[in-house]
Amino acid sequence: MSVTRVDDISHDEFMTRFYEPGIPVVFKNAAKLWQAKGLFTPDWFREHYGDRPLDINGKMFTMRQVMDLVEASSVGNPAPYPLVYDVPTALPELLPLISPLNLKYAVPNWLERAAFSLGKWGGSTQLFIGGPGGQFPYAHIDLFHLSAWITQLYGEKEFIVYPREQSHLLYPEAENPWKSQVNIFKPDFERHPLYRQATPLRFTVGPGETLFIPFGLWHSAYSLTTTISIAFDQLNAKNYPKFMQDVWFLKKQGGGPLKAAAMYSYASVMGPVCRLADALAPQPRA
């Protein structure tokens, strides 16, 4: 089994073939709309944003140091992964270079609307930087059951995605059910014997390619080279019911029942508002 790669399909075809059935797909050239394509390199960031700070495990690094760190990374001595900048707050100058963010495929996306701007739902736009050997040792589901869009702009990254029906093979943590207990790169089959039955889909995403990961799919990533990518999340009517379940669970876990109740009430009002907006103003087709 291999991931499907597409080029210049319509929004309708994307929705029918991939979004509605929840199938991952790689767009070979959707990022042609972005000025960032072919522009983002380690040296470009050193030149333009070399002094931008990033906290890595409690220690401050500049962008120059971050790029030095990932370019010196190796399989035997990998740099921390992932190194993440929140674009709107830390690098807002990049926003015009990654517009339209939705690539004309990730629509509708309620996270782009002011109605959902107060929730801190994890739907931020992030710059991911990694070096060879950098990896998530565990598989995970994106928080709030948001769909993920990752555009690789420099280097190559391997992704590992699991079929939905294999959730039980990944031993989700009891307190953090979005996180697998299995180190998928060095599995301990004595502790996790069912993982032997897992059949992950592995594939590489290279410069200029965009990966869509439907909500609720277990996945992880591994940097094959120095990598720079942009990631953002998507919420709409399809994943809204699962989103609401996570709002209650995660907000209660992070702030208690009163905070959970307040945020759940807020989100339960904003969902119908966004549904109505979708009905009144159909999204443009790519």
Name the burial class of residue 5, with classes exposed (0-12), middle (13-18) and buried (19+) by CB atoms within 10 angstroms of its CB: middle
The pLDDT of residue 254: 72
* Residue 7 CB coordination number (10 Å): 10
Higher-confidence position of 33 and 137: 33
pLDDT band at 1 (very low <50, low <70, confident <90, very high): low
Segment 19-37 mean pLDDT: 97
The pLDDT of residue 52: 97
Q: What does the DSSP 8-state code read for residue 193?
A: G
The pLDDT of residue 62: 98
Q: Which residue has the tokens 């443009």?
A: 284
Full set of structural domains in the chain with CATH: 4-236 (2.60.120.650)
Sign of the alpha-carbon torsion through 183, 189, 193, 197: positive
Segment 67-90 mean pLDDT: 95
Per-residue burial over 194-214, b if 16 or more Cβ lie within 10 Å, else e, is ebeebebeebebebbbbbbbb
Mapped to the 3 state alphabet, what secondary structure does 80-121 carry?
A: CCCEEEEHHHHCHHHHHHHCCCCCCCCCCCHHHCHHHCCCCC
Distance CA 184, CA 101 (A): 31
- Torsion on CA atoms 181, 187, 190, 195, rounded to nearest 10: 70
State pTM to two decimals: 0.93
What single letter denotes the amino acid at residue 175?
Answer: E
